[in-house]
Amino acid sequence: MKRALMVAAPDKYRDEELAIPMQVLESKGIEVTLVSTRAGVIKGMLGATSQAGDIADSAGAVFDAVVVVGGAGAPAALWENKTLRQILRTHHSAGKVVAAICLAGAALAQAGILSGVEATVFKTEASMKVYKECGAIYREKPVVTCGNVITANGPAAAREFALAVAAAI
Mean pLDDT throughout 32-50? 98
Verify whether residue 102 is a known catalytic residue: yes
Task: List pLDDT tens digits, range 100-137.
Answer: 999 999 999 999 999 999 999 999 999 999 999 999 99
Asked if residue 11 lies in contact with residue 37, where contact means CB atoms within 8 angstroms, the answer is no
Q: In the prediction, which pLDDT does 24 show?
A: 98
Q: How confident is the model at residue 17 (pLDDT cuts 50, 70, 90)?
A: very high
Q: How far apart are CA 55 and CA 60, in angstroms?
A: 10
Instruction: Indicate the pairing of strand 143-146 with strand 137-138.
Output: unpaired
pTM over 0.95: yes
Q: How confident is the model at residue 97 (pLDDT cuts 50, 70, 90)?
A: very high
How many CB atoms neighbour CB 1 within 10 A? 6
Q: In terms of CATH, what superfamily is 3-168? A: Class I glutamine amidotransferase (GATase) domain (3.40.50.880)
Q: In the prediction, which pLDDT does 130 show?
A: 98
Task: Check 34, 55, 69, 102 and give the catalytic one.
Answer: 102
Asked if residue 164 lies in contact with residue 145, where contact means CB atoms within 8 angstroms, the answer is yes
Distances in Å between the Cα of 105 and the Cα atoms of 30, 40, 121 are 22, 24, 5
